[in-house]
Structure 1
Amino acid sequence: MQVPGVQPEELPAELPTAAAALLDVREADEWAAGHAPGARHIPMNEVPQRLDELPEADQIYVVCRSGGRSARVTAYLNAHGWDAVNVERGMNGWAAIGRPVVSDEPDAEAYVL
């Protein structure tokens, strides 16, 4: 089964919007180190139990560190009725093109772990 994917450069500059949301499926320590502003965090292994917490949007972009875990979550979500797209190259690609990375910790230097 082909998993739909998008390069970080092709994503809307402003996320989330009414039409599109970003779901980060990395582990808690990865999220704490740095994540995309406005992303929703649900670790990959918790997604099946937390489907009711998915962002309300026409399309969900799924991101992890490099694109492997998010591809699996994208396939799972699409098989269960969502319109999900894998963010290829993940947060590594996101940060590499200069997209913002933030931390929830005040005064912390945000980075992709």
Structure 2
Amino acid sequence: MSTTNFKHDLFNQFARVGKALASGNRLELLEFIAQGERSVDELSKVAGLTMANTSQHLQQLRQAGLVATRKQGLKVYYRLSGDDVIRLLDALRVVAERHVADVERLVNTYLTVKDSLEPIPRAELLSRVRDGLVTVLDVRPAEEYAAGHVPGAVNIPISELEQRLEELGKGQEIVAYCRGPHCVLAFDAVARLREKGLKARRLEDGYPEWLAEGLPVEHQEETKKDA
């Protein structure tokens, strides 16, 4: 095989990954899977897709090596094939933010208007958590929180936030996070908390990026044992 043919074949294999990422639905499914292992029917519900459509997208992600599966009874569960998939999605986001004008327009229109303050970096949040200086708020659904969360985080889904404000630390700054840097749930949480006169900021990204960085995490089972 000539060097030219080798390079051509190699790039074609790289393109398989690019093709798998070339769908907004598949990117969103990857974000959901990055929160924790999910079955096809769970992913179908959270993504708002039919079971058949969800299965087709998942098969393409699997063929590109981006997700792995396990079978339990009649159900098939999907998980990311590695933390490097999270870093790939993060790189895609950064490139799009820097070079695609429509991304900046969408972020400014839907997110920045709710919170224009600089988010808190991961390392700074971890340090402040260890010193007991902040209350960390996880606004994802309960099943995502149970699969893994930032140590000490309080789980209050955004729909329950205003009814459960008393569960948040009084007088402490609150740092909210959800599925990723563009997750509207964290922006909404910060906006609502500030309306109530509370000091609130966002984490710079979300749980998947925290996990991929190798930072400590907790699971609901562990939290219950400690209690």
Report the TM range for the smaller structure's normalisation. Answer: 0.7 to 0.9
Q: CA deviation at 1:17?
A: 4.2
Match of 1:93 in 2: 209
Is 1:21 aligned with 2:112? Answer: no
Give the count of matched residue pairs: 106
Change (3 A) 1:57 1:24: farther
Say if 1:17 and 1:57, in contact at 8 Å, map to a contact too.
no
Query: Which letter maps to 2:172?
Result: D
Unaligned runs of 5+ in 2: 1-112, 223-227
Q: Output the aligned Cα RMSD.
A: 1.9
Give the alignment partner of residue 48 of structure 1, picking from 141, 145, 162: 162
Whole-Å separation in 2 of the counterparts to 1:28 and 1:83: 24
Deviation at 1:48, TM superposition (A): 1.0
Amino acid at match of 1:46: E
More helix by share: 2
In the alignment, the residues of structure 1 paired with residue 187 and residue 210 of structure 2 have an alpha-carbon distance, to the nearest angstrom, of 16
Contact 1:19 1:57 in 2 (8 A): no
Greater gyration radius: 2
Match of 2:220 in 1: 104
Identity of aligned residues (%): 36
2:74 counterpart residue number:
none
Q: Deviation string for 1:31-82 (max 9, x for gaps)? A: 1100111111111110011111112342110011114211110111012101
Q: Secondary structure in 2 aligned to 1:105?
A: helix
The alignment's TM-score, normalised by the length of structure 2, stands at: 0.43
CA drift at 1:14: 5.0
User: Deviation of residue 96 (structure 1)?
Assistant: 2.1
Partners in 1 of 2:144 and 2:156 — Cα distance?
12
Identify unmatched segments of 5+ residues in structure 1. 107-113
In structure 1, how many angstroms separate the alpha carbons of the residues matched to 2:162 and 2:150?
A: 22
Pairing 1:74–2:173 present? no
Q: 1:50 to 1:39 in 2, by over 3 A?
A: same
SS at match of 1:23: strand
Q: After TM superposition, give the deviation of residue 95 of structure 1 in Å.
A: 1.3
Which has the higher relative contact order, 1 or 2, with Cα contacts under 8 A spaced 6 or more apart?
1
Q: Hey, what does 1:84 align to over in structure 2?
A: 200
Distance 1:85 1:92 in 2: 18
- Report the TM-score, using the length of structure 1 for normalisation: 0.80
